Amino acid sequence: MRVLLTTWGSRGDVEPLAGLAVELRARGAQVRVCAPPDEEFAALLARVGVPLVPLGPTVRSVVAGTEPPTAKDAFRLAPELVAARFDILTAAAEGCDALLATGLMPAGARDVAEKLGIRYVYACFHVFGIPSRHFPPGSRPGRESPRDETDNRVLWEQDAQRVNALYGEAVARHRASIGLPPVDNVRDHVFTDRPWLAADATLCPSQGMTDLDVVQTGAWILPDDRPLPEGLEAFLDAGEPPVYVGFGSMAAHAPKDIARVATEAVRAHGRRVLLARGWAGLAPVDDAGDCFVVGEVNQQALFPRVAAVVHHGGAGTTTAAARAGAPQVVVPRIADQPYWAGRVAELGIGSAHHDPTPTRDSLYAALTTALTPGTRARARALAATLPADGAARAAELLLDAAGGEGAPASG
């Protein structure tokens, strides 16, 4: 059995595919991953022995400027990624039995699977992006919906129109080039009627949230047994657990002056500070010994040893902190991050700082909630209930689906 996994997005989009790939290989499948050619993604996949087929530009080149990407950037990137998928995936999927796509609107992936006659599955890492009568769509480049429009169904229809504006012409042109008819609704074509949700059911419940037949597999966790760096081990052993502050792949989207603001807020609680450099390049504000900076690190080993995790609210970091039983302060910036912030607050395992520009006082207040014994107790209790077999379940489902006779090119 041969399987192709593809994504274009941040580490939070790539690492789950590595976890799924490991489980697929354990069941005898041959696996390849088409993903952005960022060095850290290549290193991540190399660590588990999974070949990386480069797809599109590096993510860092798109998001790591001094300003967030503009709508003009999005309208330039969308057709570029469609073209890359038709080109790269067609070659990479030759001889495969299934193609699973995720990440930034993978328009083009299902079309390649359709042409090759292989099983196609769309997977997402949160329910927030799936059309629903219960909540409106997130923001997307293109014509904005009227401010007085409140009907969620109408808003989702307008979201589909924005997706068509971004990807429709490129998808139609490339489908025609391989003898396929056009599609009316690119978004729903990509999603299928049966998308997979690679998220924990407690952290991200899907029941009743959408009219689609969602298959919730659980989160795809890549086991990590790497030791922590010696310097970090020494810092952790030298005092009480520090507060971790990191914004992952957020670069221009990271809150302004967040290293200084967070350091002052954490110190006001009498806690030490552990800064994760990330793409935002967080750095110490002084040379005091109560602050330590780390690069890419094993969060599975680190998070159980910190007092709290202050972060942007990506699906991966939220899940990692929850699995570690670490209280969280989520400062959401874009996309699904406000959703995860809300879930952390609702579950009582931390606090949501919805103001995108935290101050020393506002972050101090959010930490006050996160650092209470009650919050830590709830976080630890929840951690004990979170299963770790999401990737294994997804691997079994995918191989079963791909092995079915006459398997259609849809999820």
Same structural domain for residues 201 and 304?
no
Question: Same structural domain for residues 352 and 396?
Answer: no
The mean pLDDT of 263-277, rounded to a whole number, is 97
Band (409; pLDDT cuts 50, 70, 90): low
Compute the C-alpha angle 321/322/324, nearest 5°.
Answer: 65
The residue assigned the tokens 């191989």 is 399
Q: Is residue 347 part of a domain?
A: yes
DSSP track, 58-126: -HHHHH-SSSPPPHHHHHHHHHHHHHHIIIIIHHHTTT-SEEEE-SS--TTHHHHHHHHT-EEEEEES-
Query: Who contacts 170 (Cβ-Cβ below 8 Å, separation ≥6)?
Result: 78, 79, 82, 83, 107, 108
In which element (H, E) is residue 307 found? none
Q: Residue 241: its pLDDT value, please? A: 98
CA distance 331 to 248: 12
Tell me whether residue 14 is in a domain: yes
User: Does residue 202 surpass a pLDDT of 70?
Assistant: yes
Q: What is the mean pLDDT of residues 344-360?
A: 95
Tell me if 369 is assigned to some domain.
Answer: yes
In a domain, 411, yes or no: no
How much is the average pLDDT of 216-239? 97
Is residue 250's pLDDT more than 80? no
Domain check: are 151 and 165 in the same one?
A: yes
| Per-residue exposure over 117-137, b if at least 16 CB sit within 10 Å of its own CB, e if not | ebbbbbbbbbbbbbbbeebbb
Question: How is residue 311 written in tokens?
Answer: 């972060």
Regarding whether 240 and 178 lie in a shared domain, the answer is: no
Q: What is the distance between the alpha carbons of residues 212 and 196, in angstroms, rounded to a whole number?
A: 10
Has residue 48 been placed in a domain? Answer: yes
> Can you give the pLDDT at residue 69?
86
Task: Tell me, yes or no, whether 29 and 165 share the same domain.
Answer: yes
pLDDT for 207 equals: 84
Average pLDDT over residues 265-271: 98
Q: Looking at the domain assignment, is residue 76 inside a domain?
A: yes
Query: What does the pLDDT read at residue 251?
Result: 60
Residues 185 and 236 reside in one and the same domain: no
In a domain, 395, yes or no: yes
Cβ pair 326, 246 in contact under 8 A: no
Query: Exposure pattern of 368-391 as b/e (b: 16+ CB <10 Å)?
Result: ebbbeeebbebbeebbeebeeebb
Kindly indicate the confidence band of residue 256, based on its pLDDT and cuts at 50, 70 and 90. Answer: confident
Do residue 14 and residue 161 come from a single domain?
A: yes
Burial class from Cβ neighbours inside 10 Å (0-12, 13-18, 19+) for residue 334 reads middle
* Model confidence at 280: pLDDT above 90: no
For residue 353, what is the domain's CATH number?
A: 3.40.50.2000
Residue-number span of the structural domain to which 140 is assigned: 2-221+389-403
Residues 141 and 40 in one domain: yes
Inter-residue contact 337 to 353 (CB < 8 Å): no
Domain count, the chain: 2
pLDDT number for residue 252:
58
**pLDDT mean over 358-377:** 97
- In the chain, the amino acid numbered 197 is L
Question: Model confidence over 41-62: pLDDT tens digits?
Answer: 999 999 999 989 999 999 999 9
pLDDT above 90: residue 407: no
pLDDT, mean of residues 240-262 = 87
Tokens of 282: 């967080």
What would the pLDDT profile of 4-31 be if each residue is shown by its tens digit? Answer: 999 999 999 999 999 999 999 999 999 9
Residue 321, phi then psi, degrees to nearest 5? -65, -40
- Is 177 a domain residue? yes
Q: Are residues 56 and 202 in the same domain?
A: yes
| Residues 315, 211 share a domain | no
Q: Are residues 174 and 309 in the same domain?
A: no
Predicted confidence at residue 406, as pLDDT, reads 42
Residue 411 has pLDDT above 70, yes or no: no
Name the residue with higher pLDDT: 405 or 99: 99
Are 235 and 198 within one domain?
Answer: no
Whether residue 159 has pLDDT greater than 70: yes
- CA atoms of 183 and 175, how far apart (whole Å): 9
- Amino acid 410: pLDDT: 60
Residue 356, pLDDT score: 83
- Mean pLDDT for 359-368 is 97
Whether the per-residue pLDDT at 327 is higher than 70: the answer is yes
What mean pLDDT comes out for the span 241-270? Answer: 89
Q: Compute the residue count for the chain.
A: 411
pLDDT greater than 80 at residue 405: no
